[in-house]
């Protein structure tokens, strides 16, 4: 499988619950390397632009409000099949439907406050990574372990 990059976000509920380290540990333990990390607070324009595909959905305004309600951690993850692997580690959107051992099963509050975002395709991953990270802020490296 090819080495891919994907965008991960630890959402405001994850930061508030104090699980930044636990989330990143799951990624590292399962073969995904953080190659860019930034803690920030999204503006309304940032969140609206990022979730533009959902702007017709009933939950859009609430989602933007939630995503701007506190700090988030933006990350680029790199690894074999990183896009699908990240989605697997995250679990289903609704934590009630998420598989045991997934981030959303273990940490999410509900279908909105679901702790993590992950790009859903390689094509979207490229768009989402470049939405937040210029190439000069991304640094690949090899593990020696
Ligand atoms: P995903 O994050 O698993 O890819 P999407 O369908 O892309 O799920 O939805 C984006 C985000 O919008 C979700 O992660 C969640 O925070 C929020 N969301 C999705 N569906 C609902 C809903 O039915 N009610 C409230 N919020 C939702
Ligand atoms: Mg999505």
Kindly name the residue from 117, 118, 125, 128 that is annotated as catalytic: 117
Residue 60, pLDDT above cutoff 90: yes
Measured by CA distance, the residue closest to atom 8 of ligand 1 is 93
What does the pLDDT read at residue 1? 82
Per the structure block, which two tokens stand in for 117? 């975002």
- Residue 139 bears catalytic tag: no
Q: How confident is the model at residue 81 (pLDDT cuts 50, 70, 90)?
A: very high
Binning pLDDT at 50, 70 and 90, where does residue 13 land?
very high
Q: Which of 11, 84, 112 to mutate to test the pocket of ligand 1 (most atoms within 8 A of CB)?
A: 112
**pLDDT reading at 104 higher than 90:** yes
Ligand 1 pocket: which of 7, 52, 93, 127 to mutate (most atoms within 8 A of CB): 93
The reply to whether the predicted model has a pTM over 0.75 is: yes
* Arithmetic mean of pLDDT, 96-123: 98
Q: How far is CA 69 from CA 48, 58, 114, 115, in A?
A: 13, 19, 14, 13
* Measured distance CA(86)–CA(37) in Å, rounded: 16
Average pLDDT rounded to a whole number, residues 32-50: 98
Lining residues, ligand 1, CB within 6 Å: 54, 59, 63, 93, 111-112, 114, 117, 120
Predicted pLDDT of residue 145: 84
pLDDT at 133 over 90: yes
Q: What is the band of 31 on the pLDDT scale with cuts at 50, 70, 90?
A: very high
Confidence band, pLDDT 50/70/90 cuts, at residue 47: very high
């Amino acid at each position: 499988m090819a080495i891919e990059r994907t965008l991960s976000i630890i959402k405001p509920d994850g930061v508030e619950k104090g699980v930044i380290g636990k989330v990143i540990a799951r990624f590292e333990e399962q073969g995904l390397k953080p190659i860019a990390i930034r803690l920030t607070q999204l503006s309304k324009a940032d969140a609206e632009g990022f979730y533009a595909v959902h702007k017709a959905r009933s939950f859009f305004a609430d989602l933007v409000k939630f995503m701007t309600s506190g700090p988030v951690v933006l990350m680029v993850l790199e690894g074999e099949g990183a896009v699908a692997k990240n989605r697997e580690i995250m679990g289903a959107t609704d934590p009630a439907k998420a598989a045991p051992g997934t981030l959303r099963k273990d940490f999410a509050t509900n279908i909105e406050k679901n702790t993590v975002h992950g790009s859903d395709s390689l094509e979207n991953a490229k768009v989402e990574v470049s939405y937040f990270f210029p190439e000069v802020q991304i640094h690949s490296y090899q593990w020696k372990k």
